[in-house]
Structure 1
Amino acid sequence: MIRFILLLLLFLFSLLTVFKAFEFHLWLIAILAGELSWVFALIAGIVLATGYRFGKYQMPGTVLGILAVILFLTPVFRGLMVANKLSTKFGAAFGPGTANVDNAAEMPYNPFKSLYYRRKEVPFSSLTYVNYGKESLNLDFYASQIAGKRPCVIVVHGGSWKGGNSRQIPELNGLLAEKGYQVAAINYRKAPAYRSPAPVEDVRAAMGYLRRHADSLQIDTGRFVLIGRSAGSQIALLAAYSLADPSIKGVVDFYGPADMVWGYSIPSNPLIMDSRKVMSDYLGGPYEKVPGNYAASSPLEFVSRRSPPTLIIHGENDVLVAYEHSRRLNEKLQENGVKHFWLQLPWATHGFDYIQNGPGGQLSNYVIERFLRYATK
């Protein structure tokens, strides 16, 4: 009976690798199911192997266990399918040879890397980049591990515009520093005390600070790239498309809300997040009262032929920021002839990249490294 219950729970858990979560805690579990699926496939296999000790529920438990193992392994195989064509598709988007970097022989996704690989920590400095009267904002600066003036990546964290901080996913910041980029992970003013476009102004202030200290920080001020995550993607995209700053050479969008007007019209599941309240807090009210604020904060409204190259990364099972946002942004970029690439991850949900060694994390890092090389060449 215990074996049957365990296998039933594992089977239900494994369904989150193919179906969207419908509740907040299930969404958190879905991140684990998709990005650490091999762990749970192994657990299910071990429980399956104990079948000889039980009798009454052995057959139904075995069936559920086999199904669970198969479902848990689907992100691995789907990741391999994406990886198989990734280099070719990226090269088609940005030109021949752009998928090749110093470690060109590296696989976009190596399932065995999930089992053992751990990235070393890269030290950083906390620097105050702007003061607004009583409030000051800091950034975490990860110095490039390659000497000389280097391109600078500005990372904008997620958190529904009201939470989160610059310490999110430091592993990616460290990876980029190892590859030769100066990295500034910034904090910004948050809702509801501050509203859009305050965070975009903070991005501009951060760039100003980095320019003023370019000599001491060894920054090439002509080559900035913005990376945003979730709400931070809306900020990064809006800054990249609206500031008209030629030094912004590219922008990376991790599952960001690109169309705030459409996003308000199709709210997320309230059991996961009250997206309309989140947007109202950030934009000064519901759409019916301040429609202009929603349009003015929609990155795709500012896409033009002069927009910088863009990398979009989104999981189809995202339950916080609809996949449709990226489809709409992709379409707008195509219409305007903007160089871009959309990494589509069929199994992944919102926040998948918090597990850097999962299939989504590895594939994302692969394209980010190549995109940065292209954008800052």
Structure 2
Amino acid sequence: MVRLVLLSVLLLISLLTLFTAPAYYLWLLAVMVGEYGLLFIGGTLIILASGWLTKSRYNALGTCVGMLALALLMLPIVEAYTIAQKLPNQMQRELNLKNLNHEKPFSLLRLFKRDPQSTPKVLTYVTYSDTNLTLDYYAAKTAAKRPCILVVHGGSWSSGDSKQLPELNTILAAKGYQVASINYRLAPKWHNPAPVEDVRAALTYLTSHADELKIDTSQFVLLGRSAGAQIALLAAYTLKNTGIKGVVNFYGPADMVWGYSLPAPKLVMDSRRVMENYLGGTYTQVPKNYKTSSPIEYIDSGSVPTLTIHGANDALVAYEHSRRLNDKLQKNGISHFWLKLPWATHGFDHHLNGPGGQLSSYAVLTFLNGVVPVK
């Protein structure tokens, strides 16, 4: 009976690979199930094998339940493998790439590896009357000037910092890119467009210190996650800095007006309150702020190439944001690519050696290799 109960719990957990998590802690569990699935698969196999050691009238039923759980737990790996077979050709075709990424998008062996990390240098990039802002600088090992990736962290515009998810920064620096992960002014004390102004200040600092930091100031790419992706997209489309050659959007809210009209389930996050803190009021009170903070409002024929990465089971930022962004980019003839991950939820890239983490890091490196290649 205990075996059947445990396998039934694992079956319920495995459903998070198919359905969006309905509550905050289930969302956190969904990240684990999708990207650290080997742990759950191993546990399921052990419990299934225990059926050979004990006799119970529930053994057959438990085995059926366990096999179904096992199949669902393996779904992210199977889907990642399937996507990986087509991804290189799709990105080459849709982005018209000349510089190809010859690495494998997905490897079963990488599922067993740990994510890399390195220690960055902390630099103060702007001093305001009421605060100082710093960035974490991951330097490439090079004597020549290299493209620079400016990273904007997530955290609902009110939390998080430049230390968030450093693994990709480490990988990019190892590939020859300079990486600057910035802190920015947070809500509710500061409202939009303060973070975009901080991105501008960071670009100014990096440009003025380009010689010592070995930065090619004609080759910046902005990269953001969640709330940070909204900031990165908005900055990329509005700053009109000729040095910005592209933007990478990890599951960011692109249409703030639409997003306010259809909030996330409150058991997951009070997304309306989050947006009100960032924009200074409700949509009724400050409608202009919602429109001017929506990246899709600024896309035109001169917008920079865009890479979007989003999981279909995102519980915090609706998948619809990326569809709307993709449509607007398509209509304006902007070079773009949307990596769709059917099983993944918000924050799936917490583990870069997981199924979604592998595909997303490959997509980022391939995109960068196309818009700001390391020479």
Q: Could you tell me the TM-score, scaled by structure 1's length? A: 0.97
The one-letter amino acid paired with 1:206 is: A
Q: Residue 62 of structure 1: CA displacement?
A: 1.1
Match of 2:19 in 1: 19
The one-letter amino acid paired with 1:110 is: S
Residues of 2 paired with 1:54 and 1:4: CA distance?
A: 12
Following superposition, which runs of at least 4 residues in structure 1 exceed 4 angstroms of deviation?
Answer: none
Is the partner of 2:352 in helix, strand or coil?
coil
**1:225-255 deviation line (CA, Å, top 9, x unaligned):** 0000000000000000001111000000000
> Where in structure 1 are there 5+ consecutive unaligned residues?
none
Residues of 1 paired with 2:289 and 2:55: CA distance?
A: 62
Match of 1:109 in 2: 106
Match of 1:318 among 302, 314, 321: 314
Is the partner of 2:310 in helix, strand or coil?
strand
Match of 1:198 among 171, 176, 194: 194
Q: 1:331-342 counterparts in 2 under 5 A?
A: 331-342=327-338
1:31 aligns with 2:27: no
The one-letter amino acid paired with 1:91 is: Q
Q: Residue 54 of structure 1: CA displacement?
A: 3.6
Match of 2:214 in 1: 218
Compared CA separation, residues 76 and 289, structure 1 to 2 (3 A): same
**1:30-75 deviation line (CA, Å, top 9, x unaligned):** 0011111222112101100001314132122111111110000011
1:349 aligns with 2:345: yes
Match of 1:81 in 2: 82
Check the 8 A contact 2:115/2:351 in 1, yes or no. no
Residues of 2 paired with 1:361 and 1:128: CA distance?
A: 30
Q: 1:267-346 counterparts in 2 under 5 A?
A: 267-346=263-342
Is the partner of 1:288 in helix, strand or coil?
coil
Residues of 2 paired with 1:216 and 1:16: CA distance?
A: 48
Match of 2:56 in 1: 55
Residues of 2 paired with 1:270 and 1:49: CA distance?
A: 40
Compared CA separation, residues 76 and 120, structure 1 to 2 (3 A): closer
**1:274-294 deviation line (CA, Å, top 9, x unaligned):** 000000000010101111000
Check the 8 A contact 2:329/2:336 in 1, yes or no. yes
Residues of 2 paired with 1:263 and 1:120: CA distance?
A: 35
Aligned residues: 372
Match of 2:239 in 1: 243
Which sits farther off after the overlay, 272-281 or 36-45?
Answer: 36-45
What is the percent sequence identity of the aligned residues?
A: 55
1:207 aligns with 2:203: yes
Q: Residue 118 of structure 1: CA displacement?
A: 2.6
Is the partner of 1:256 in helix, strand or coil?
coil
> Where in structure 2 are there 5+ consecutive unaligned residues?
none
Match of 2:154 in 1: 158
Check the 8 A contact 1:146/1:178 in 2, yes or no. no
Match of 1:130 in 2: 126
Residues of 2 paired with 1:348 and 1:212: CA distance?
A: 39
Which sits farther off after the overlay, 35-44 or 246-255?
Answer: 35-44
The one-letter amino acid paired with 1:31 is: V
Check the 8 A contact 1:124/1:141 in 2, yes or no. yes
